[in-house]
Amino acid sequence: MNNYRVLVISYFFPPLSGPGVMRAFNFVKNLGRFGWEPIVLTVKDIEYVARDEKLLEELAGIAIYRSGSLDPMRLLHLWRKRMGGRDIYQEAGAVMKKLGRDIFPIDSKLGWLFFAQPLAKRLCRIHNIKIIIATMSPYSSGVLAYLTAKATGLPYVLDYRDLWRGKPDITYGSRWHKKLSVFWEKKLIAKAAAVIQVTQRSAELFLNIYPQCSSEKVKVIFNGYDAEQFAAVARNSEPEIKFTFAGHFYGGQSPQLFLKAVQNLYDSGDLPAGVKFSFAGNYTAAIEHYFTDAPYLERLPYLKYQDYIKKLVDSDVLLLFISNNNSDMIIAQKLFDYLAARHPILAMVPEQGETAEIIRKYKAGIICNPDSLESIRNGISEMLAIITKGEVEQKFPLQTNDYGEFQRSRQAEQLSELLQEISSG
């Protein structure tokens, strides 16, 4: 198989961690198996919510280039490195972060382009790049791919981790900001060799928004799980029943109603002894406010990737939160990790959404209305009853389900096939 090189543009990349990082990380980790050598272009250190240095160890031998930037996250990092002090980014409230995003045209990472574009052109030349792929958001990554392709004559692919126009929680600083974003998205789409979406419904919504884009140009490559990582972890059984959520809350997600439902069960005497609800992650002050020192709660900091997988495997029930706010097309990255862990899922997600469809398809858990206290309370009670009666295997065929379509290596293979098709055309 020919060993072609692809320039992978990803602002969020290890040693950063979290859902915004893992897609690009796993593409880069696995593409080499299928005849494509990734050359990575990312940003230098920034202020960010999660880091995991071990992820870089898995990318040994892969060329990773980092450019400077004038975006706020890079500048905050430089400020704190020089002056010390508090983590301003983590402490900033949702309103301040929204303001910081909305005042910039395109997005707040536009200041990266001044440094990244010259480097991108040089990398295409010295590494004999065949094709460019930009993972978005930030959407400035797509602009960078467009400008680099225009300068080099190379084709480029847009990988939408998040929709741009059509993203449920997107806001604009003004009408001008919105017009500029729409203008640039249309331009990027028109010149792209292919557009990748992460869910089927995202692809459908995207084509409804931009009917001028050929459906043949739009491909769906799901997120997934790393089968090798899960195979290497053994389960430690504990006497208590543990419900676990490990990750961040974003896009209107909140544990508030869930925690209230648990408190109601506890106050009414309907929460059995030996049940623990564990939440691991670095949360904003607004989210942290909902947690108390209740005896049934365990609050942990952010977990590195391998510790995160171990936590999932050692749990009994895995918690999933997706807002009801126009989020039918959203499939959280952790859903695939939850499937791989092979424990039942208690999902506070849109009941007619694509996430719920997957859970129902595999009989992998119980779905609750995220806006209904009664639905959540009933879901917790039902799950506890199934566990205490020893009916988990009867209700959820988790050990026999075949999740092969969601393995990261399979997604890298799909991407390599797309790259090969474009480069051969």
Q: Looking at residue 321, what is its pLDDT?
A: 94
Q: Looking at residue 96, what is its pLDDT?
A: 53
Calpha distance 40→31 (Å, rounded)? 12
Split at pLDDT 50, 70, 90, the class of 388 is very high
Which run of H or E residues covers position 100?
helix 94-102
At residue 329, the 3 state secondary structure works out as coil
Q: Which residue has the higher pLDDT, 171 or 61?
A: 61
pLDDT(354) > 80: yes
pLDDT(299) > 90: yes
**How far is the CA of 334 from the CAs of 37, 115, 149, 175, 340, in angstroms?**
27, 33, 33, 35, 10
pLDDT(88) > 60: no
Split at pLDDT 50, 70, 90, the class of 253 is confident
Split at pLDDT 50, 70, 90, the class of 85 is low
Mean pLDDT estimate for the chain: 90
Split at pLDDT 50, 70, 90, the class of 116 is very high
Q: Looking at residue 395, what is its pLDDT?
A: 93
Q: Looking at residue 92, what is its pLDDT?
A: 53
pLDDT in tens, 312-351: 999 999 999 998 887 888 898 899 999 999 999 999 999 9
Q: Looking at residue 100, what is its pLDDT?
A: 58
Q: Is the peptide bond between 15 and the residue preceding it cis, with omega within 30 degrees of 0? A: yes
φ and ψ at residue 247, rounded to 5 degrees: 150, -165
Helices (H), 105-218: 113-126, 140-152, 175-191, 200-209
Split at pLDDT 50, 70, 90, the class of 282 is confident
Calpha distance 23→276 (Å, rounded)? 31
Q: Looking at residue 158, what is its pLDDT?
A: 98
In the chain the domains, ranked by start, together with CATH numbers, are: 4-224+409-424 (3.40.50.2000), 227-404 (3.40.50.2000)
Percentage of the chain with pLDDT > 70?
A: 94
**How far is the CA of 75 from the CAs of 48, 100, 111, 127, 254, in angstroms?**
12, 13, 10, 30, 29
Q: Most confidently modeled of 2-6, 286-290, 366-370?
A: 366-370
Q: Looking at residue 251, what is its pLDDT?
A: 65
Torsion angle of the four alpha carbons 413, 251, 176, 206, in this order, in degrees rounded to the nearest 10: 40
At residue 144, the 3 state secondary structure works out as helix
For 285, other C-beta atoms within 10 Å of its C-beta total 11
Split at pLDDT 50, 70, 90, the class of 358 is very high
38, 15 contact by CB (below 8 A): no
Q: Which residue has the higher pLDDT, 84 or 40?
A: 40
- Mean pLDDT of the region 181-200: 94
Structural tokens at position 374: 């009664």
* Burial profile 390-410: b = 16 or more Cβ within 10 angstroms, e = fewer: eebeebbebeeeebeebbbbb
Percentage of the chain with pLDDT > 90?
A: 65
pLDDT(94) > 70: no
Task: Give, to the nearest 10 degrees, the angle between helix 175-191 and helix 140-152.
Answer: 40
Lowest mean pLDDT among 105-109, 152-156, 413-417: 105-109
Q: Looking at residue 233, what is its pLDDT?
A: 83
At residue 383, the 3 state secondary structure works out as helix
* Burial profile 17-39: b = 16 or more Cβ within 10 angstroms, e = fewer: bbbbbbbbbbbbbbbeebebbbb
> 350: number of CA atoms within 13 Å, CB side?
17
Burial class for 119, CB neighbours closer than 10 Å (0-12, 13-18, 19+): middle
- Mean pLDDT of the region 242-270: 90
Split at pLDDT 50, 70, 90, the class of 84 is low
Calpha distance 68→43 (Å, rounded)? 6
Burial class for 233, CB neighbours closer than 10 Å (0-12, 13-18, 19+): middle
Q: Looking at residue 349, what is its pLDDT?
A: 94
Structural tokens at position 76: 């905050």
Q: Looking at residue 1, what is its pLDDT?
A: 44
